[in-house]
Amino acid sequence: MRALVWLRDAVLSVTAVIGVVCVLLLGASFAFDVKSLVVVSGSMEPGIPTGSLILSRMTPASELAVGDVVTVPKRTGTDLVTHRVVEIAPVEGVPEGRELTLRGDANDVDDPYTYGVAVAGKHLLTIPGGGYVVSFFQSRDGMVATGAAILVVAVLLVGTRGETRQSVRRARRGTSLPDGAARLAVEAPDGGARPGEDARCASDDPELVESR
């Protein structure tokens, strides 16, 4: 019984933590335009290790400064790159646009081309290893594991609740008298016991009979 309760509490705690993190990320995404990204390369190590989860806030390019770590789209495809800003230049004819020169902290040279952007994801927070967790839960195996965890929690809740109810019933039976039995205490009007009498029928003198 105790093992089941411990397992139930452990699973509930882990599930609650994951749920709270997901809610916070979702809320931050809507309220503050914060994006969560998984780092898949080591170009920003050691500050941002491979497999980290990073949070970035979408920021106008005009508010960026040299030294900021930003996430911008690559020129080809839909992939993103997260590197440090080493140079900023205005874009002719586009007041809000900036041409960014970036470099990874682990790289010896700048990126081979610049990035013309109006907004960029400015780095806010790094959660080492968080990307592996997110990737797992987004995978097929992670979805299966999540479903199994939910099923286990449901079974444990039902099982431990049933055990608790049975324990309460057993405790009540242990403190109650057998069916049909009653203790009768008879006292004389002055508070003393009547000589020669242990008990009297309730119909004879109801006010002197106490059923416990």
pTM: 0.60
Query: Could you tell me the pLDDT band of residue 31, with boundaries at 50, 70 and 90?
Result: low
What would the two tokens of residue 140 be? 């097929």
C-alpha Rg value of the chain to the nearest Å: 35
- pLDDT at position 186: 42
Q: Round to whole Å and give the CA distance between 154 and 12.
A: 10
User: pLDDT digit string (tens) for 112-138?
Assistant: 999 999 999 999 999 999 989 888 877
Please determine, for residue 33, whether its predicted confidence score (pLDDT) is greater than 60: yes
Strands 115-117 and 94-103: antiparallel
User: pLDDT digit string (tens) for 145-194?
Assistant: 777 777 777 776 676 655 555 555 556 665 554 544 444 444 445 555 44
Q: Where does residue 131 rank: exposed (0-12), middle (13-18), buried (19+ CB within 10 A)? A: buried
Please determine, for residue 95, whether its predicted confidence score (pLDDT) is greater than 80: yes
